[in-house]
Amino acid sequence: MTLLRGGMLGVALGLGTVAGLAGAGGGGAPPPQAVCAPGYVRPDFAALRRELASARTRWALAGIRDYAYDFTEVAAPVLFPAVRVSVRQRQVQAVAVAAGQQGEPGPNAWGTVEDRFAAVASLLADGRSRPCPVVETDYDPQLGHPTRLYSGSGEANIADGWGEWRITNFTRVVPGGP
């Protein structure tokens, strides 16, 4: 499943391209060249890939198969309810909406750490070809699991089309435990 940000950004950019073609009369005319916002700095995709590889190595060395974590997700302008994700034997067993939250979990709620890594890798591969991508990642310094992914567009005059997810309260679970 495409990352929230990558997916929402893709939808937003795709709609913008369609709207641009329609406004230009369609007819196969190329879309206008993207203009990045003043001060925009392109992400260092090579450094982001190195950070991802290092985090994956830490995670693999930790050998964790049973864990739980809280997951929050925004696909601007939608804020999905916070959830608790439970994973056993590297398979998602449950996603529970947090107390006091309402609504359905977001599209990326059902994911293992390996799924989160794959989503980051996919976004990094896709982001390189975008005109003004914004990508930020954070990982747990000891265990390596992702703790944050933000992506969006640095194009001028773009108000939404960004997304972010966060992993907090990561807890190892004793095999066979709750």
Q: For 79-134, write each residue's pLDDT tens digit.
A: 999 999 999 999 999 999 999 999 999 989 999 999 999 999 999 999 989 999 99
Residue 48 · residue 126 · CB < 8 Å: no
Domain ranges of the chain: 45-172
Q: In the chain, where does DSSP find H-type helix?
A: 4-23, 45-62, 113-127
pTM (2 decimals)?
0.79
**Residue 76 pLDDT:** 87
Kindly state the average pLDDT of the residues 36-52: 96
**Residue 72 pLDDT:** 97
Tens digits of per-residue pLDDT, 47-74?
A: 999 999 999 999 999 999 999 999 999 9
From 27-31, 52-56, 75-79, the region with the lowest mean pLDDT: 27-31
Rounded to an integer, what distance in angstroms lies between the CA atom of residue 178 and that of residue 168? 18
Q: Which residue has the higher pLDDT, 29 or 171?
A: 171
**Residue 137 pLDDT:** 98
Residue 148 · residue 164 · CB < 8 Å: yes
- Where b means 16+ CB within 10 Å and e means fewer, 132-141 reads bbbbebebbe
Residue 73 · residue 106 · CB < 8 Å: yes
Rounded to an integer, what distance in angstroms lies between the CA atom of residue 174 and that of residue 178? 8
What residues pair up with 69 in beta bridges, in sequence order? 85
Helix axes 45-62, 113-127, angle to 10 degrees: 170
93 three-state secondary structure: strand
Tens digits of per-residue pLDDT, 129-148?
A: 999 999 999 999 999 999 99
**Residue 30 pLDDT:** 44
